[in-house]
A = this chain, B = another copy of it.
Protein backbone atom coordinates (compact mmCIF):
# COMPACT_ATOMS: atom_id res chain seq x y z
CA UNK A 1 0.00 0.00 0.00
CA UNK A 2 1.13 3.52 -0.66
CA UNK A 3 1.32 6.22 1.91
CA UNK A 4 -0.58 8.56 -0.32
CA UNK A 5 -3.27 10.25 1.68
CA UNK A 6 -6.08 12.41 0.43
CA UNK A 7 -8.70 14.39 2.26
CA UNK A 8 -10.97 14.71 -0.70
CA UNK A 9 -13.53 11.99 -1.33
CA UNK A 10 -13.09 10.70 -4.86
CA UNK A 11 -13.80 7.25 -6.23
CA UNK A 12 -11.44 5.84 -8.81
CA UNK A 13 -13.30 4.73 -11.84
CA UNK A 14 -10.62 3.28 -14.03
CA UNK A 15 -6.96 3.88 -14.52
CA UNK A 16 -5.68 7.35 -14.41
CA UNK A 17 -4.34 6.41 -17.79
CA UNK A 18 -5.77 3.42 -19.66
CA UNK A 19 -3.31 0.65 -20.38
CA UNK A 20 -1.77 1.08 -23.80
CA UNK A 21 -1.21 -1.60 -26.39
CA UNK A 22 2.21 -2.29 -27.83
CA UNK A 23 2.14 -2.34 -31.62
CA UNK A 24 5.16 -2.47 -33.90
CA UNK A 25 4.07 -3.81 -37.25
CA UNK A 26 1.54 -2.22 -39.57
CA UNK A 27 -0.84 -4.35 -41.62
CA UNK A 28 1.31 -3.80 -44.70
CA UNK A 29 4.31 -5.28 -42.95
CA UNK A 30 6.18 -2.04 -42.36
CA UNK A 31 7.07 -0.78 -38.92
CA UNK A 32 5.15 1.96 -37.18
CA UNK A 33 6.98 5.21 -36.93
CA UNK A 34 9.09 5.14 -33.82
CA UNK A 35 8.68 1.40 -33.40
CA UNK A 36 11.80 -0.64 -32.83
CA UNK A 37 11.81 -4.20 -34.14
CA UNK A 38 13.07 -6.80 -31.71
CA UNK A 39 16.18 -8.78 -32.47
CA UNK A 40 14.83 -11.65 -34.51
CA UNK A 41 17.12 -13.75 -36.66
CA UNK A 42 16.08 -14.78 -40.14
CA UNK A 43 16.18 -18.36 -39.01
CA UNK A 44 13.77 -17.78 -36.13
CA UNK A 45 11.52 -15.63 -38.27
CA UNK A 46 11.34 -18.36 -40.88
CA UNK A 47 10.62 -20.95 -38.24
CA UNK A 48 7.80 -18.84 -36.83
CA UNK A 49 6.34 -18.19 -40.23
CA UNK A 50 6.67 -21.79 -41.32
CA UNK A 51 4.82 -22.84 -38.19
CA UNK A 52 2.07 -20.33 -38.95
CA UNK A 53 1.60 -21.78 -42.42
CA UNK A 54 1.53 -25.31 -41.10
CA UNK A 55 -1.09 -24.43 -38.50
CA UNK A 56 -3.24 -22.64 -41.07
CA UNK A 57 -3.17 -25.74 -43.23
CA UNK A 58 -3.71 -28.14 -40.37
CA UNK A 59 -6.69 -26.14 -39.10
CA UNK A 60 -8.26 -25.88 -42.53
CA UNK A 61 -7.80 -29.56 -43.34
CA UNK A 62 -8.87 -30.87 -39.95
CA UNK A 63 -12.07 -28.84 -39.95
CA UNK A 64 -12.73 -30.44 -43.31
CA UNK A 65 -11.92 -33.89 -41.99
CA UNK A 66 -14.25 -33.33 -39.06
CA UNK A 67 -17.06 -32.39 -41.48
CA UNK A 68 -16.40 -35.62 -43.34
CA UNK A 69 -16.77 -37.54 -40.09
CA UNK A 70 -13.15 -38.65 -40.03
CA UNK A 71 -12.57 -36.81 -36.76
CA UNK A 72 -14.97 -36.26 -33.89
CA UNK A 73 -13.93 -32.75 -32.91
CA UNK A 74 -11.51 -29.96 -33.72
CA UNK A 75 -10.55 -26.42 -32.65
CA UNK A 76 -8.65 -23.92 -34.74
CA UNK A 77 -6.09 -21.26 -33.90
CA UNK A 78 -7.08 -19.14 -36.87
CA UNK A 79 -6.48 -15.45 -36.28
CA UNK A 80 -4.30 -16.03 -33.25
CA UNK A 81 -1.22 -17.54 -34.86
CA UNK A 82 1.00 -14.53 -34.16
CA UNK A 83 0.02 -14.48 -30.51
CA UNK A 84 0.62 -18.19 -30.00
CA UNK A 85 3.64 -18.83 -32.15
CA UNK A 86 5.28 -15.45 -31.62
CA UNK A 87 5.15 -16.02 -27.89
CA UNK A 88 6.38 -19.61 -27.94
CA UNK A 89 9.36 -18.53 -30.05
CA UNK A 90 10.56 -16.23 -27.28
CA UNK A 91 11.09 -19.13 -24.86
CA UNK A 92 13.66 -21.86 -24.51
CA UNK A 93 13.05 -25.55 -24.93
CA UNK A 94 13.62 -26.17 -21.26
CA UNK A 95 10.78 -23.84 -20.35
CA UNK A 96 7.51 -25.61 -19.64
CA UNK A 97 4.49 -24.66 -21.72
CA UNK A 98 1.03 -25.13 -20.27
CA UNK A 99 -1.68 -24.46 -22.80
CA UNK A 100 -5.43 -24.02 -22.67
CA UNK A 101 -6.18 -25.82 -25.96
CA UNK A 102 -5.89 -23.36 -28.81
CA UNK A 103 -2.09 -23.28 -28.78
CA UNK A 104 -1.05 -26.16 -31.01
CA UNK A 105 1.09 -23.61 -32.82
CA UNK A 106 3.37 -23.50 -29.79
CA UNK A 107 3.60 -27.26 -29.77
CA UNK A 108 4.41 -27.36 -33.45
CA UNK A 109 7.04 -24.71 -32.98
CA UNK A 110 8.71 -27.03 -30.49
CA UNK A 111 8.78 -29.85 -33.01
CA UNK A 112 5.64 -31.93 -32.65
CA UNK A 113 5.37 -33.87 -35.90
CA UNK A 114 2.44 -34.02 -38.26
CA UNK A 115 2.30 -37.70 -37.48
CA UNK A 116 2.09 -37.02 -33.75
CA UNK A 117 -0.78 -34.61 -34.27
CA UNK A 118 -2.66 -37.26 -36.25
CA UNK A 119 -2.09 -40.01 -33.72
CA UNK A 120 -3.61 -37.85 -31.02
CA UNK A 121 -6.58 -36.72 -33.06
CA UNK A 122 -7.40 -40.26 -34.10
CA UNK A 123 -7.03 -41.64 -30.55
CA UNK A 124 -4.92 -44.52 -31.68
CA UNK A 125 -2.39 -46.80 -30.07
CA UNK A 126 0.45 -44.43 -30.95
CA UNK A 127 -1.14 -41.37 -29.40
CA UNK A 128 1.12 -40.27 -26.57
CA UNK A 129 -2.09 -39.76 -24.58
CA UNK A 130 -3.23 -43.33 -25.32
CA UNK A 131 -6.47 -42.20 -26.94
CA UNK A 132 -8.06 -41.20 -23.70
CA UNK A 133 -8.86 -37.58 -24.39
CA UNK A 134 -10.74 -35.80 -27.15
CA UNK A 135 -8.90 -34.55 -30.23
CA UNK A 136 -6.58 -31.53 -29.72
CA UNK A 137 -5.68 -32.53 -26.13
CA UNK A 138 -2.02 -32.90 -27.04
CA UNK A 139 0.88 -33.27 -24.67
CA UNK A 140 4.53 -34.18 -24.88
CA UNK A 141 6.93 -34.76 -22.06
CA UNK A 142 9.87 -34.66 -24.43
CA UNK A 143 8.89 -31.21 -25.69
CA UNK A 144 8.00 -29.82 -22.26
CA UNK A 145 4.44 -29.26 -23.35
CA UNK A 146 1.97 -30.20 -20.64
CA UNK A 147 -0.96 -32.36 -21.75
CA UNK A 148 -4.05 -30.22 -22.33
CA UNK A 149 -6.87 -30.59 -19.81
CA UNK A 150 -10.40 -29.45 -20.63
CA UNK A 151 -11.38 -27.83 -17.32
CA UNK A 152 -10.57 -24.19 -17.87
CA UNK A 153 -8.01 -22.20 -15.91
CA UNK A 154 -6.86 -25.14 -13.79
CA UNK A 155 -3.45 -24.83 -15.42
CA UNK A 156 -3.00 -21.29 -14.09
CA UNK A 157 -2.21 -22.05 -10.42
CA UNK A 158 -0.46 -25.18 -11.63
CA UNK A 159 1.83 -23.00 -13.71
CA UNK A 160 2.66 -20.96 -10.63
CA UNK A 161 3.57 -24.14 -8.76
CA UNK A 162 5.50 -25.59 -11.67
CA UNK A 163 7.54 -22.41 -11.98
CA UNK A 164 8.15 -22.23 -8.25
CA UNK A 165 9.60 -25.74 -8.46
CA UNK A 166 11.76 -24.66 -11.39
CA UNK A 167 13.05 -21.81 -9.27
CA UNK A 168 13.93 -24.24 -6.45
CA UNK A 169 15.63 -26.44 -9.01
CA UNK A 170 17.71 -23.44 -10.00
CA UNK A 171 18.01 -24.19 -13.68
CA UNK A 172 16.99 -20.81 -15.09
CA UNK A 173 13.85 -22.14 -16.67
CA UNK A 174 10.37 -20.70 -16.47
CA UNK A 175 6.80 -21.64 -17.27
CA UNK A 176 4.72 -20.11 -20.03
CA UNK A 177 1.01 -20.53 -19.43
CA UNK A 178 -1.71 -19.69 -21.94
CA UNK A 179 -5.36 -18.95 -21.24
CA UNK A 180 -8.30 -17.13 -22.79
CA UNK A 181 -9.97 -13.99 -21.52
CA UNK A 182 -12.93 -16.22 -20.69
CA UNK A 183 -10.92 -18.58 -18.54
CA UNK A 184 -9.57 -15.53 -16.73
CA UNK A 185 -12.97 -15.24 -15.01
CA UNK A 186 -12.43 -18.51 -13.16
CA UNK A 187 -11.43 -18.49 -9.51
CA UNK A 188 -8.31 -20.46 -10.42
CA UNK A 189 -7.05 -17.49 -12.43
CA UNK A 190 -7.17 -15.27 -9.36
CA UNK A 191 -5.58 -17.91 -7.16
CA UNK A 192 -2.76 -18.58 -9.60
CA UNK A 193 -1.95 -14.98 -10.41
CA UNK A 194 -1.94 -13.88 -6.81
CA UNK A 195 0.14 -16.82 -5.63
CA UNK A 196 2.67 -16.32 -8.39
CA UNK A 197 3.02 -12.64 -7.47
CA UNK A 198 3.37 -13.28 -3.74
CA UNK A 199 5.60 -16.34 -4.03
CA UNK A 200 7.67 -14.84 -6.83
CA UNK A 201 7.25 -17.60 -9.36
CA UNK A 202 9.00 -17.35 -12.73
CA UNK A 203 5.77 -17.74 -14.67
CA UNK A 204 4.80 -15.86 -17.81
CA UNK A 205 1.02 -15.61 -17.92
CA UNK A 206 -0.09 -15.18 -21.49
CA UNK A 207 -3.70 -14.20 -22.01
CA UNK A 208 -5.09 -14.69 -25.48
CA UNK A 209 -7.84 -12.10 -25.46
CA UNK A 210 -9.69 -13.11 -28.61
CA UNK A 211 -12.94 -11.33 -27.88
CA UNK A 212 -15.08 -14.38 -27.20
CA UNK A 213 -15.56 -17.30 -24.89
CA UNK A 214 -17.67 -19.55 -27.09
CA UNK A 215 -20.61 -17.18 -27.69
CA UNK A 216 -19.92 -14.80 -24.84
CA UNK A 217 -18.34 -11.52 -25.97
CA UNK A 218 -15.74 -9.93 -23.76
CA UNK A 219 -18.19 -7.17 -22.72
CA UNK A 220 -20.19 -9.87 -20.96
CA UNK A 221 -17.02 -11.36 -19.53
CA UNK A 222 -15.49 -8.37 -17.75
CA UNK A 223 -16.19 -4.71 -17.21
CA UNK A 224 -12.66 -3.44 -16.57
CA UNK A 225 -9.73 -2.62 -18.77
CA UNK A 226 -9.25 -6.19 -20.00
CA UNK A 227 -7.06 -8.69 -18.25
CA UNK A 228 -3.96 -6.49 -18.11
CA UNK A 229 -5.57 -4.24 -15.53
CA UNK A 230 -5.79 -7.20 -13.21
CA UNK A 231 -2.11 -7.99 -13.56
CA UNK A 232 -1.32 -4.52 -12.34
CA UNK A 233 -3.68 -5.13 -9.44
CA UNK A 234 -1.73 -8.22 -8.44
CA UNK A 235 1.46 -6.19 -8.39
CA UNK A 236 2.73 -8.07 -11.41
CA UNK A 237 4.70 -6.56 -14.27
CA UNK A 238 2.23 -6.40 -17.11
CA UNK A 239 2.14 -5.59 -20.78
CA UNK A 240 -0.61 -5.49 -23.38
CA UNK A 241 0.28 -6.21 -26.98
CA UNK A 242 -1.38 -6.26 -30.35
CA UNK A 243 -1.83 -10.02 -30.65
CA UNK A 244 -1.88 -9.87 -34.42
CA UNK A 245 1.54 -8.27 -34.50
CA UNK A 246 4.10 -11.02 -34.30
CA UNK A 247 6.95 -8.61 -33.62
CA UNK A 248 5.16 -6.98 -30.70
CA UNK A 249 4.27 -10.37 -29.24
CA UNK A 250 7.79 -11.69 -29.67
CA UNK A 251 9.43 -8.58 -28.26
CA UNK A 252 7.15 -8.51 -25.22
CA UNK A 253 7.73 -12.19 -24.53
CA UNK A 254 11.51 -11.98 -24.81
CA UNK A 255 11.37 -9.26 -22.19
CA UNK A 256 8.84 -11.16 -20.07
CA UNK A 257 10.94 -14.30 -20.07
CA UNK A 258 13.99 -12.34 -19.10
CA UNK A 259 12.23 -10.78 -16.13
CA UNK A 260 10.76 -14.09 -15.04
CA UNK A 261 14.03 -15.97 -15.15
CA UNK A 262 16.36 -13.25 -13.94
CA UNK A 263 14.19 -11.60 -11.29
CA UNK A 264 12.23 -14.70 -10.34
CA UNK A 265 8.91 -12.99 -10.71
CA UNK A 266 5.83 -13.44 -12.83
CA UNK A 267 4.83 -11.33 -15.82
CA UNK A 268 1.44 -10.95 -17.46
CA UNK A 269 1.15 -10.48 -21.21
CA UNK A 270 -2.26 -9.75 -22.67
CA UNK A 271 -2.45 -10.22 -26.42
CA UNK A 272 -5.43 -8.55 -28.07
CA UNK A 273 -6.65 -10.63 -30.98
CA UNK A 274 -9.74 -12.28 -32.43
CA UNK A 275 -10.94 -15.82 -32.87
CA UNK A 276 -11.59 -15.79 -36.60
CA UNK A 277 -13.17 -19.23 -36.73
CA UNK A 278 -15.89 -20.94 -34.78
CA UNK A 279 -15.16 -21.79 -31.14
CA UNK A 280 -14.90 -25.44 -32.17
CA UNK A 281 -16.39 -27.72 -34.78
CA UNK A 282 -19.44 -28.01 -32.51
CA UNK A 283 -20.08 -24.27 -32.72
CA UNK A 284 -21.68 -21.90 -35.24
CA UNK A 285 -20.79 -18.27 -34.56
CA UNK A 286 -23.46 -16.89 -36.88
CA UNK A 287 -25.83 -17.26 -33.94
CA UNK A 288 -24.03 -14.62 -31.92
CA UNK A 289 -21.86 -12.34 -34.02
CA UNK A 290 -21.87 -10.57 -37.32
CA UNK A 291 -20.04 -11.24 -40.52
CA UNK A 292 -18.94 -7.60 -40.57
CA UNK A 293 -17.21 -7.93 -37.26
CA UNK A 294 -15.36 -10.98 -38.50
CA UNK A 295 -14.37 -9.23 -41.71
CA UNK A 296 -12.98 -6.30 -39.80
CA UNK A 297 -10.60 -8.64 -38.08
CA UNK A 298 -9.86 -10.69 -41.15
CA UNK A 299 -8.43 -7.49 -42.60
CA UNK A 300 -5.73 -7.45 -39.93
CA UNK A 301 -4.79 -11.10 -40.37
CA UNK A 302 -1.62 -11.80 -38.38
CA UNK A 303 -0.19 -14.30 -40.86
CA UNK A 304 -0.55 -11.95 -43.77
CA UNK A 305 1.00 -9.18 -41.76
CA UNK A 306 4.04 -11.26 -41.00
CA UNK A 307 4.24 -12.39 -44.59
CA UNK A 308 4.32 -8.80 -45.78
CA UNK A 309 7.12 -8.06 -43.36
CA UNK A 310 9.05 -11.16 -44.42
CA UNK A 311 8.69 -10.29 -48.08
CA UNK A 312 9.72 -6.72 -47.42
CA UNK A 313 12.80 -8.08 -45.68
CA UNK A 314 13.37 -10.39 -48.64
CA UNK A 315 13.27 -13.38 -46.37
CA UNK A 316 10.31 -14.86 -48.17
CA UNK A 317 8.70 -14.97 -51.61
CA UNK A 318 5.27 -15.72 -53.03
CA UNK A 319 6.74 -18.73 -54.78
CA UNK A 320 8.05 -20.16 -51.53
CA UNK A 321 4.63 -19.54 -50.00
CA UNK A 322 2.90 -21.51 -52.72
CA UNK A 323 5.24 -24.48 -52.44
CA UNK A 324 5.05 -24.51 -48.66
CA UNK A 325 1.27 -24.50 -48.66
CA UNK A 326 1.06 -27.25 -51.25
CA UNK A 327 3.55 -29.40 -49.40
CA UNK A 328 1.78 -28.98 -46.10
CA UNK A 329 -1.61 -29.73 -47.60
CA UNK A 330 -0.29 -32.92 -49.05
CA UNK A 331 1.60 -33.88 -45.91
CA UNK A 332 -1.40 -33.33 -43.69
CA UNK A 333 -3.81 -35.26 -45.88
CA UNK A 334 -1.40 -38.11 -46.57
CA UNK A 335 -0.60 -38.44 -42.90
CA UNK A 336 -4.24 -38.37 -41.94
CA UNK A 337 -5.03 -41.09 -44.42
CA UNK A 338 -2.17 -43.31 -43.34
CA UNK A 339 -2.93 -42.77 -39.67
CA UNK A 340 -6.51 -43.90 -40.06
CA UNK A 341 -5.13 -47.40 -40.35
CA UNK A 342 -3.35 -47.39 -37.00
CA UNK A 343 -5.25 -49.56 -34.51
CA UNK A 344 -6.81 -48.40 -31.28
CA UNK A 345 -4.91 -48.80 -28.02
CA UNK A 346 -5.09 -52.27 -26.50
CA UNK A 347 -7.88 -52.97 -24.06
CA UNK A 348 -5.37 -53.25 -21.22
CA UNK A 349 -4.69 -49.52 -21.48
CA UNK A 350 -8.13 -48.92 -20.07
CA UNK A 351 -6.77 -49.49 -16.58
CA UNK A 352 -3.15 -48.40 -16.75
CA UNK A 353 -2.08 -44.98 -15.46
CA UNK A 354 -5.02 -44.62 -13.08
CA UNK A 355 -2.30 -45.26 -10.53
CA UNK A 356 1.37 -45.87 -11.12
CA UNK A 357 0.37 -49.56 -11.30
CA UNK A 358 -3.13 -51.06 -11.52
CA UNK A 359 -4.28 -52.33 -8.14
CA UNK A 360 -6.05 -55.66 -7.57
CA UNK A 361 -9.47 -54.10 -7.99
CA UNK A 362 -8.63 -52.73 -11.43
CA UNK A 363 -7.01 -55.99 -12.50
CA UNK A 364 -10.20 -57.82 -11.54
CA UNK A 365 -12.35 -55.36 -13.42
CA UNK A 366 -10.22 -55.79 -16.52
CA UNK A 367 -10.32 -59.57 -16.27
CA UNK A 368 -14.13 -59.55 -16.08
CA UNK A 369 -14.27 -57.16 -18.99
CA UNK A 370 -12.06 -59.41 -21.11
CA UNK A 371 -14.33 -62.35 -20.38
CA UNK A 372 -17.35 -60.31 -21.25
CA UNK A 373 -15.92 -59.05 -24.53
CA UNK A 374 -14.94 -62.58 -25.46
CA UNK A 375 -18.63 -63.47 -25.13
CA UNK A 376 -19.85 -60.53 -27.22
CA UNK A 377 -16.99 -59.80 -29.61
CA UNK A 378 -19.22 -58.18 -32.23
CA UNK A 379 -20.38 -55.57 -29.73
CA UNK A 380 -16.86 -54.29 -29.01
CA UNK A 381 -15.22 -54.14 -32.43
CA UNK A 382 -12.31 -51.94 -31.31
CA UNK A 383 -11.01 -54.39 -28.76
CA UNK A 384 -12.52 -57.80 -29.51
CA UNK A 385 -9.53 -58.83 -31.59
CA UNK A 386 -7.06 -57.91 -28.89
CA UNK A 387 -9.04 -59.92 -26.36
CA UNK A 388 -9.17 -62.95 -28.61
CA UNK A 389 -5.57 -63.92 -28.34
CA UNK A 390 -3.75 -61.15 -30.14
CA UNK A 391 -3.02 -59.74 -26.75
CA UNK A 392 -1.79 -61.92 -23.90
* Chain copies in the assembled complex: 2
A328 to B274, CA, bound (A): 64
The residue from B4, B13, B225 contacting A1, defined by CB atoms under 8 A apart: B225
Q: Assess A233 versus B235: contact at CB under 8 Å? Given A9-B251, A23-B6, A191-B187.
A: no
- A368 in the interface, Cβ–Cβ < 8 Å? no
Q: Assess A237 versus B4: contact at CB under 8 Å? Given A185-B194, A190-B187.
A: no
Are the CB atoms of B20 and A34 closer together than 8 Å? Answer: no
The residue from B9, B18, B22, B223 contacting A255, defined by CB atoms under 8 A apart: B9
A255 to B32, CA, bound (A): 45
A230 to B224, CA, bound (A): 10
- A21 in the interface, Cβ–Cβ < 8 Å? yes
Kindly supply a per-residue 1/0 record for chain A positions 8-31, scoring 1 wherever the CB is within 8 Å of any chain B CB and 0 otherwise: 111111111111111110000000
Kindly supply a per-residue 1/0 record for chain A positions 210-244, scoring 1 wherever the CB is within 8 Å of any chain B CB and 0 otherwise: 00000000001111111011111111111110100
- A267 in the interface, Cβ–Cβ < 8 Å? yes
- A252 in the interface, Cβ–Cβ < 8 Å? yes
Kindly supply a per-residue 1/0 record for chain A positions 42-84, scoring 1 wherever the CB is within 8 Å of any chain B CB and 0 otherwise: 0000000000000000000000000000000000000000000
| A268 → B minimal CB distance (Å) | 9
Are the CB atoms of A237 and B20 closer together than 8 Å? Answer: no
| A10 → B minimal CB distance (Å) | 7
Are the CB atoms of B7 and A226 closer together than 8 Å? Answer: no
- Closest residue to A21 on the B side, CB-wise? B5
Which chain A residues (243-272) contact chain B, with CB distance < 8 Å?
Answer: 251-252, 255-256, 259, 267, 272
Smallest CB-CB A-B distances: 8 pairs: A187-B187, A2-B18, A224-B235, A190-B190, A223-B235, A7-B35, A233-B233, A197-B223
Are the CB atoms of B229 and A224 closer together than 8 Å? Answer: no
CB contacts (< 8 Å) of A191 on chain B: these are 185-187
Are the CB atoms of B225 and A2 closer together than 8 Å? Answer: yes
CB contacts (< 8 Å) of A342 on chain B: these are none
Q: Assess A7 versus B34: contact at CB under 8 Å? Given A1-B226, A233-B225, A235-B225.
A: yes
- A350 in the interface, Cβ–Cβ < 8 Å? no
- A162 in the interface, Cβ–Cβ < 8 Å? no
- A198 in the interface, Cβ–Cβ < 8 Å? yes
* Interface footprint category on A: 35 or more
| A188 → B minimal CB distance (Å) | 6
CB contacts (< 8 Å) of A235 on chain B: these are 14, 222-225, 229
The residue from B36, B190, B221 contacting A189, defined by CB atoms under 8 A apart: B190
A25 to B255, CA, bound (A): 45
Kindly supply a per-residue 1/0 record for chain A positions 179-215, scoring 1 wherever the CB is within 8 Å of any chain B CB and 0 otherwise: 0000001111111001001100000000000000000
CB contacts (< 8 Å) of A256 on chain B: these are 11
The residue from B2, B7, B16, B221 contacting A22, defined by CB atoms under 8 A apart: B7
| A13 → B minimal CB distance (Å) | 5
- A291 in the interface, Cβ–Cβ < 8 Å? no
Are the CB atoms of A21 and B9 closer together than 8 Å? Answer: no
A232 to B234, CA, bound (A): 11
Sample (16) of A-B pairs whose CB atoms are under 8 Å apart: A1-B226, A1-B240, A5-B20, A6-B21, A7-B22, A9-B255, A12-B231, A13-B237, A16-B16, A185-B191, A194-B223, A197-B224, A223-B235, A229-B232, A229-B233, A232-B233
A186 to B16, CA, bound (A): 27
- A375 in the interface, Cβ–Cβ < 8 Å? no
6 more A-B contacts (CB under 8 A) besides A2-B19, A11-B256, A197-B222? A5-B23, A6-B23, A8-B35, A10-B239, A12-B239, A224-B236
CB contacts (< 8 Å) of A14 on chain B: these are 232, 235
